[in-house]
Structure 1
Amino acid sequence: MKTLEQQLATIRVIPVIALEDAQKAVKLAQVLIENGLPCAEVTFRTAQAAQAIANMREAYPDMLIGAGTVLTTAQVDAAITAGVDFIVSPGLNPTTVKYCQQRQIAIIPGVNNPSLVEQAMEMGLKTLKFFPAEPSGGTAMLKALSAVYPVQFMPTGGISPQNIKTYLDIKSVLACGGTWMVPNQLINDEKWDELAALVKEVATIIG
C-alpha cells in the first residue's frame, strides 16, 4: 500500500475542483482517470463538495480524493464521512490540524513562510501546501524554504502550464495543485471532450 506522499509523487499534478453540481462529479472523475490524472482535490468552496466527494468515492473506490479549502472541524467530519483520503487547508490552523490528527486523517495545511513551516513541523507535519505559490515568491521562495527545512511541498496558487515544470523540478516538491485543467465553465457546460483534452495536455507536460 503506497503512502499518501508516494501517491502524490506518482501523480504529480492534483486537479483542484470547485463543483457546483455533485451530479457531475462521477463523469468528471471518469475524465480525470481516463486521461492520466487519477486524483481530485474537491474544495469546500461550494455546498456540493461533500456530496461530490461521496459520489466520486462510490464510483471509483481506488481514486485518490482530497478535500480542499477545509476551514473547520465540521468540514473535516463531512469530508471523512464522504470518503476522502486526505485534507487540504489554505492556511495552518492548529485546531484543524490537531483534529485531523485525532481523527487519523492526513492533512496538508498551507504555509508560505519560515515561521509557518516551523509551526507545522512542531506539530509533526512533513508534507505542506505552499500557498498561494506565485504571490508568495514562487520558486525562489520555495527553494529558499527547501534549503532549510526537511519537508515536502505541494505548491498551489498561480500554477499553470507555463510554470509547472519549474516547480516540479524542485526536489522537495511532491506534486502541484492546479485549476486550469478543470475550469468551472467547462464542467458546468458538461464539455467533457474539452476537459479531457486539457487533462491529457497536463499528463503530457509531466510525462
Structure 2
Amino acid sequence: MKKLNTLQQIADKGVVAVIRADSSEEAILISRACIEGGVTCVEITYTTPDADAVIKTLVAEYKNDPTVVVGAGTVLDETTARLAIMAGSEFVVSPAFNKEVALLCNLYAIPYMPGCITIKEMQEALTFGADVIKLFPGSAVGPDFVKAVKAPLPQVNIMPTGGVSLNNIQEWIHNGCVAVGIGGNLVNAAKADGDYTKVTALARQYVDKVRLARQS
C-alpha cells in the first residue's frame, strides 16, 4: 500500500522537486520550503553531501503526513539504491535505466523512475517494471515529444525533468505527462541570499500551474 500511496501522491501533486544542494543542511531547508509551498514530493539527489542523512531526517520529520513523499535521485547503481531504501527513500530516480536497480526496487516495492530519452530505452524500462519514466533531459526533446511517445506507448507514465519551467509546464501536462520534475528553476531561488520563502512562493506557483493545466 505504501508504494501505491507514493505513486498516487506524485500523480496528484504533479510536481517533484529535485533537490541538488551544496550541503545536507541546505537540502533540508530547501525541501521544507518546497513542502510548505505544496510541492510535497521531494527527490534528494545523491550528489548532495550526506544524502542518506537528509532522507532519514525528512522521512522522520514528515512521518505522520502521508502527502509528503521523500525519494532519492541520481541513483547510479544497486548499492546506492539499497542505501537509499534503507534510509527510508520512498522512490528511486536514476538519470539512466539500470536493470539491477530496477530489480532491487521491485523486490522492495519501491517505485523506480529511470531516465530515458528513446522509445527503446522506455520499452526496456517498462519491461523491468519501471513505474514512471523520467524523460531526461526534457530540454532535448520538448513537450511535443510526449505526444509522439504516447502514440505507440499509451500506457507509459512520463515525468520530464530538465527544461521544465513556469512558462511551459502547462504544455507538458496538456501533452500527457503524469508529473514534472523541477530542479534549478525551483530550488536555486534561495541560493544567492538564503531566503527560502522564495522557494516556497515558487513552489506554490508550480502547483497552481499544474492545477490550472489539468482543469483546462
**In structure 2, which of residues 41, 44, 49 is the aligned counterpart of residue 42 of structure 1?**
44
Which residue is 2:19 aligned to? 17
Partner of 2:127: 122
The answer to whether the aligner puts 1:143 opposite 2:143 as a matched pair is no
Question: How far 1:60 sits from its partner (Å)?
Answer: 1.1
Question: For the residues of structure 1 that align with 2:191 and 2:169, how far apart are their CA atoms?
Answer: 23
Q: What's the RMSD between the two structures over aligned residues?
A: 1.9
Task: Measure how far apart 1:206 and its partner are.
Answer: 2.1
Q: Given the alignment of the two structures, is residue 74 of structure 1 paired with residue 79 of structure 2, yes or no?
A: yes
CA deviations 1:162-188 (Å, max 9, x no partner) are 1111001123x11000111111x7247
Following the alignment from structure 2 to structure 1, what is the Cα–Cα distance between the partners of residues 147 and 82?
Answer: 34
Match of 2:171, as an amino acid?
Answer: T
Q: Does structure 1 residue 134 correspond to structure 2 residue 136?
A: no
Secondary structure of 2:11's counterpart equals helix
Aligned partner of 2:32 in structure 1 is: 30
CA contact (8 A) 1:28 1:187 kept: no
CA–CA distance in structure 1, aligned partners of residues 193 and 149 of structure 2 = 41
* Residue 95 (structure 1) aligned with residue 97 (structure 2): no
Distance 1:126 1:36, change over 3 A: closer
Task: Label 1:122 to 1:206 Cα distance change in 2 as closer, same or farther (>3 A).
Answer: closer
Determine whether 1:113 maps to 2:118.
yes
8 A Cα contact 2:143 2:172, kept in partner? yes
- In structure 1, runs of 5+ residues without a counterpart are none
Q: Do the aligned partners of 1:5 and 1:174 also contact (CA within 8 Å) in 2?
A: no
Query: For the residues of structure 2 that align with 1:69 and 1:55, how far apart are their CA atoms?
Result: 19
Q: State the aligned residue count.
A: 204
- From the superposition, tell whether residues 176 and 97 of structure 1 become closer, same or farther in structure 2 (CA, over 3 Å): same
The DSSP-based 3-state class of the residue aligned with 2:115 is strand
Moved more, 35-44 or 23-32: 23-32
Report the CA distance between 1:192 and its aligned residue.
1.4
Identity of paired residues, percent?
Answer: 30
Please identify, of 5-14 and 18-27, the stretch whose mean Cα deviation from structure 2 is larger: 18-27
The TM-score, its normalising length taken from structure 2, stands at 0.86
1:33 Cα shift?
2.1
Distance in 1 (CA, whole Å) between partners of 2:131 and 2:77 is 21
Could you tell me which residue of structure 1 aligns to residue 10 of structure 2?
8
Identify the residue that residue 172 of structure 2 maps to in structure 1: 167
> SS in structure 2 opposite 1:134?
helix
Which string of whole-angstrom CA distances, capped at 9 and with x for unpartnered residues, describes residues 4-37 of structure 1? 3321111111110112222244433332222111
Q: 1:206 corresponds to which letter in structure 2? A: V
Aligned residues of 2:37 and 2:202 also touching (Cα < 8 A): no
**TM-score when normalising by structure 1:** 0.90
How far 1:85 sits from its partner (Å)?
0.6
* Conserved 8 A contact 1:111-1:131: yes
